[in-house]
Chains A and B, each alone.
Chain A
Amino acid sequence: MSYSAPPASAMQSVLRLFSIPSLAKLGVGPLIAAAVLVMIVIVTLLSPWLAPFDPLEMNPMNRLQGPSEEHFLGTDPFGRDIYSRVLIGGRVSLLIGIGAAVVSVLIGLVIGLIAGFFRLADTLIMRVMDSLMAIPSILLAIALVALNGPSITSVIMAITIPEIPRVVRLVRSVVLTAREEPYVEAAIALGSSMPKILFQHLMPNTMAPLIVQGTYILASAILTEAILSFLGAGVSTEIPTWGNIMAEGRQYFRVKPELILWPGLMLSMCILTINLLGDTARDLLDPRLKKRGE
């Protein structure tokens, strides 16, 4: 991006999150959520060292074993260690979630700024965004993955594209309000350069709602990755992700429910805590933003 330092107001609104008074107001709920999430993240980041086995190492002669001292959660249909796979699987799931959240926020931000600022582009952009919103996101995502192949990038794109319109709408509505503010009108009247107006005056206003929206997108992207894998349209089955482990476990649900329950539990905990923190951030940053995902 071509702007220099982020303006003070944006930084302030983010920093406000971590100030002692506001944290104290929150009570223990969000703190527990944060602790759990941090733990999940640390465990998945350290998974290459924590996992007792190579998650890809097969041992077909030792398949579908029950829990044992060697394999805490038993082995899967290829004789791979489920515990190691669940640990490592979180990495890719989180990577996809974060990737999708960052990319959709960035793209949505740029398009939203343009739509909010340039009246001519606005109509066209918003028509296209309305149309994209009309296509059920899961169908669009499955189609995109099925047609572009099951790579991590293609899954991130497939999750990102349906999210963009939501970000665009949000950014645009913020910009539309902000550009009526006297200091923005003054900047326009004074002939400030376009990038300066966009990035220095308008963009900071979008930071708070975007952080909130970003956490929701992160949660929903992790969930979507799992659903895509479950339907057979996710990341290559060679890469363990929570979704892939559950998809593989589908056939074996009656004999090996661990394959769905453990990754399902990790995934749910992860999304739950992100959602809770998102709610907290929303309450802190902008009490007016009550509806989610609109």
Chain B
Amino acid sequence: MAGRDAQSVPWFAEERPQAVLADGARLDGRSFEEFRSVFLKTGVISQASGSAYAEFGRTKVMVGVYGPRQSDRRQGYSERGRLACDVKLATFATRQRGIFGQSQEEREHSAAMQTALEAAANLDSFPKATVDVYCLVLEAGGSELAVAITAAALALADAGIELFDLVSACSVSRVEGSLLLDPSADETHREDGGLLLAMMPTVNEVTQLVSRGQWSGAELKDGLELAMGGCAQLDAAARQCLREAAAAAAAKQAAEDGAAAAQPAAA
């Protein structure tokens, strides 16, 4: 079946591959347990309390965290703070043009992200208030939700919201009996089953788990182990990113202090 009759698929885009495993290897040359190239950066939106950008191969996600602000009155009184997560896929993020407004899939992604992050944030530290987490997927190249959750946790940390631990998330797809870490969009399209795991690697707690397709008990165990290993790797990368951001901020502060100290002497 040619995918062309689907409207708004880019005219010059390649067809989806019929098989994503060629001679037992992935099409992009990765090993089964390897991430795509990962890039993480915090502090990308100047207006936000905290922000982060994450790029996993072709999947590109931007997250802005705003608040804490006073909760809506109609939500009622709460002694604990709230996280309001909103995941939006840009209309040009997927092969077929998305819709304006929130689609069913985006609503589900938002709810899944909220569960994933709520367990990590110290909600008691901002009673009666809400922290907004806005997440925009610029390009959906596979495993969007996992990338978005990882980026959102980084943005929360960048905003200075108290967290029990960083959350990292990764996806696993099962294709022809092999478990693939961090699947691309083509791999997800051909999968027999998939799962998403979000966890706090240091305190060893799972905060979100979503699976699709059929899994036997043993397969599920193997898939979870692979995902846990992936989360631990991502956690190291996220911490490295935060350390670098903190070092850069400290250096900038020191330079400003130095300039301020030098100025009176010149006058």
A binds B: no
Query: A residues near B, CB below 8 A?
Result: none
